[in-house]
Amino acid sequence: MATPAPPRWDRAMQQRLARGEEAALGELYDRFGPLVYGLALRILDDEDAADRVTREVFGHIWENPDAYDPRDGNMRSWIATLTQRQSVSRLRAFEAERVRSGGQRAGEPFEARVREANTAARADFIRDSMPASIRAALNLAYIQRRDYRQAALELGLSEVEARRRMRLGLQMLATAMQHPGANGGAR
Amino acid sequence: MNGPGGPQEPIGGGPDDSRWENGGWDGGGTPPHGVPLPRVPLPRGAADDGPPIPVMPPAAPPALDHSTLRSLLGAWALSACAADENTAVEEHLGRCVACADEARRLRDAVRLLRNEDQLDLDPTLRHRVLAGCLGRRPARVPVPSWAVAYDAEAARLDALLADLGPDDWRQEVVLRWHQGRQVADVASVIGHLTAVDGLVAAALDLEEPLGPGPDVSREPRARTETYWKRFGELPPGRVRETWRDQGRSLVRTVAFAGNSAGGLEVDYGGPVLALEDAFLDRAFECWIHADDIAEAVGYPYEAPAPRHLHGMIDLAARLLPTAIAGRRRAGLATSPGGLTAAGEPGRSLYLEVEGDGGGEWYIPLDSPAAKGCKEHSVAHVALDGVEFCQLAAGHRTPEELAAGIEGDAGAVHDVLSAAASMSRL
């Protein structure tokens, strides 16, 4: 998982983008391109559409570098929100187009996809802001397929502490799913 | 920390949670940008929950109490418990509503662990995104065109490195060059790139990545060995970061220097390249070694974008006459040399490189100062661009090359051997 960028990085990046530094644009893409494309693909389930959303999101950031205010939070979650918004609006446009051309209104399944989009963006924010120590415990279990005893050993923790971190990490992530008024999401 | 299953085990209270607790949106409950993220409920001491817990039937193996079972829920949801614990948790869930609720939520949360960042992106997307942006608002500080290939190749290698797990970093990578071969792990290969990129850093007055000391050479092989000696113990993450940070400052520095960077030269401890060519050389090396790494870890890795490949081939074609002359002086040339006055057209080899990044070059055979030209061509070599680069990287011998060859065999041999001899560690 990506290492969270320090706030200083966010501020410096914003200033460099505002100065019109092409090199900064490349660095921005290298850091957040996979996030934007991956989130858009998860929401839209269409590679061409995800490709397009990626170009739109970066185009928007580059053209409006002052739209991001570091005081409002980190750049990553700002970009995830932009992506989610752009993807959902594309999803709605697809759906409207489908209905106009005689398709059945999808209703609940469609709204479920929108909810899922919001959840995905929030989950990214939570993964990004959770303490590295908790993320490390989750990764060992989820990616490296260690059980909690092996994880405890590798991280130099008591077994109780390894269990605690796994449970706490999942509790944090679970909050991405419970939210009132899911449809409007991050508007 | 309390003992196992201690009733007062504070779930949200460890020292590691402070960053989360003091995170940006902790205070008002309103996360940045309006994402409605409810605060993580501060979990209670597990034993405070609900009605008194029924005593476990003595037969159930292993006999775990409610709070222990509850503390296992995260590991259970991640399938990270021992088999008997799994059974005990699942039996308990049939009887305890509170735990069953939490277990369901945690199980659902597991899929959210999947990180979008682990996707492999289409390598052409970077260029399309950047070009799209620059079309909407031109850069005020553009990256010079000759540095773009380096920027792109470094980004591609970095994306490959981001995908490597701890086992991948330990893989043995085979480095090959003209009459040489060495096995190194992935971090050592990145260290090699860092050490040699450092020559460009020196030309730009940036920090020496090898650190201070009288034994810091300018010769690439010696520099690489110094890096290995001094930083061989660094963890892979740091090695990657050092390389990447230096590469970024190189690009950024030449972007700010703009035209004033023209005329600078990079000293390779003997051979000297113009700064522009050194950037192409480093882009080439970055690709070749990324390809070596990809081969070692079994990942696919494509050739550079055609416009970047073209620049690399052009650099090799321009360096060829000097390499030919060097071999001739060393008595290694087979074709008889002729005398050509500087700037005059002389005997040439027509190099036709096929494919998207290809083109045509007339390589002067008798002197680097002579002009290559069609009228005086004595031989013709046609081959694919990637194949030509593999030759220049020392990954193919002239004998192994898949190329169409016509004309003076001695001239062809000299040119292909000279191309192969340009490679080094």
**B32-67 residue pLDDT tens:** 443 333 333 333 333 344 444 454 444 445 678 999
Average pLDDT in the B380-393 region?
95
Q: Which of B34, B37, B134 faces A22 most closely, judged by CB atoms?
A: B134
pLDDT at A7: 80
Across the interface, whether the CB atoms of A51 and B12 are under 8 A apart is answered no
pLDDT at residue A159 tops 60? yes
B51: preceding bond cis by omega (within 30 degrees): no
Average pLDDT in the A78-102 region?
90
Least confident of A112-126, B96-110, B187-201, B217-231: A112-126
Phi, psi angles (nearest 5°) of residue B202: -65, -40
Find, among B172, B178, B174, B226, the residue nearest to B198 by Cα.
B226
Alpha-carbon span A119 to A103, nearest angstrom? 27
Task: Give which of A170, A173, A179 to mutate to test B binding, by max B Cβ within 10 Å.
Answer: A170
Q: Which of A20, A125, A133 faces B140 most closely, judged by CB atoms?
A: A20
Give B199's contacts (C-beta < 8 A, 6+ positions apart): B218, B220, B223, B266, B267, B268, B278
Domain parsing of chain B, residue ranges? 15-113, 143-305, 320-421
For residue A1, the chain B residues in CB contact (below 8 A) are 115, 117
pLDDT at residue A54 tops 70? yes
Query: Does residue B42 belong to the interface with chain A, where contact is any CB pair within 8 Å?
Result: no
Query: Does residue B399 belong to the interface with chain A, where contact is any CB pair within 8 Å?
Result: no
pTM: 0.80
Q: How far B16 CA sits from the closest chain A CA (Å)?
A: 6
Cβ contact A5:A78 at 8 Å: no
CATH number corresponding to B320-421: 3.30.1050
Cβ contact B416:B320 at 8 Å: no
Q: Which of A119, A127, A166 faces B115 most closely, judged by CB atoms?
A: A127
For residue B33, the chain A residues in CB contact (below 8 A) are 72-73, 77-78, 81, 186
Q: How far B154 CA sits from the closest chain A CA (Å)?
A: 10
Average pLDDT in the B224-233 region?
94
Is residue A73 helix, strand or coil?
coil
pLDDT at residue B5 tops 70? no
CATH architecture of A7-128: Orthogonal Bundle (1.10)
Alpha-carbon span B197 to B243, nearest angstrom? 8
pLDDT tens-digit series, residues B321-360: 999 999 998 888 887 777 777 788 889 999 999 988 999 9
For residue A125, the chain B residues in CB contact (below 8 A) are 31, 35, 37
Is residue A182 classed exposed, middle or buried when 0-12, 13-18 and 19+ CB atoms within 10 A define those classes? Answer: middle
pLDDT at B17: 44
- Tell me how far CA of residue B417 lies from CA of A145, B195, B336, B354, B411, in angstroms: 50, 27, 15, 20, 10
Domain parsing of chain A, residue ranges? 7-128, 130-177
Highest mean pLDDT among A5-19, A74-88, A103-117, B58-72: A74-88
Which residue in the block uniquely carries the two structure tokens 């003091």?
A: B22
Any idea which fold B143-305 has?
Four Helix Bundle (Hemerythrin (Met), subunit A) (1.20.120)
Give A11's contacts (C-beta < 8 A, 6+ positions apart): A70
* Confidence bin at B116 (pLDDT 50/70/90): low
pLDDT at A4: 54
* Confidence bin at B250 (pLDDT 50/70/90): very high
Q: Cα–Cα–Cα angle for A125, A131, A132, nearest 5°?
A: 105
B366 DSSP assignment: S
Across the interface, whether the CB atoms of A169 and B74 are under 8 A apart is answered yes
List the structure tokens of B422: 């340009």
As a whole number of Å, the end-to-end CA separation of chain A is 26
For residue B45, the chain A residues in CB contact (below 8 A) are none
Across the interface, whether the CB atoms of B74 and A41 are under 8 A apart is answered no
Alpha-carbon span A52 to A90, nearest angstrom? 10
pLDDT tens-digit series, residues B119-148: 778 889 999 999 999 999 999 999 999 999
pLDDT at residue A107 tops 90? no
- Percent composition of chain A: helix, strand, coil (DSSP 3-state, to 5): 75, 0, 25
pLDDT at B353: 96
pLDDT at residue B157 tops 60? yes
Average pLDDT in the A34-57 region?
93
pLDDT at residue B194 tops 90? yes
pLDDT tens-digit series, residues B257-313: 987 877 899 999 988 999 999 999 999 999 999 999 999 999 999 999 999 999 999
Q: B263 vs B185, which has greater pLDDT?
A: B185
Rounded to two decimals, the ipTM of the complex is: 0.84
Average pLDDT in the B182-194 region?
96
Beta bridge partners of B383: B353, B403
pLDDT at B322: 93
Alpha-carbon span B359 to B295, nearest angstrom? 28
Alpha-carbon span B311 to B154, nearest angstrom? 16
Query: Does residue A28 belong to the interface with chain B, where contact is any CB pair within 8 Å?
Result: no
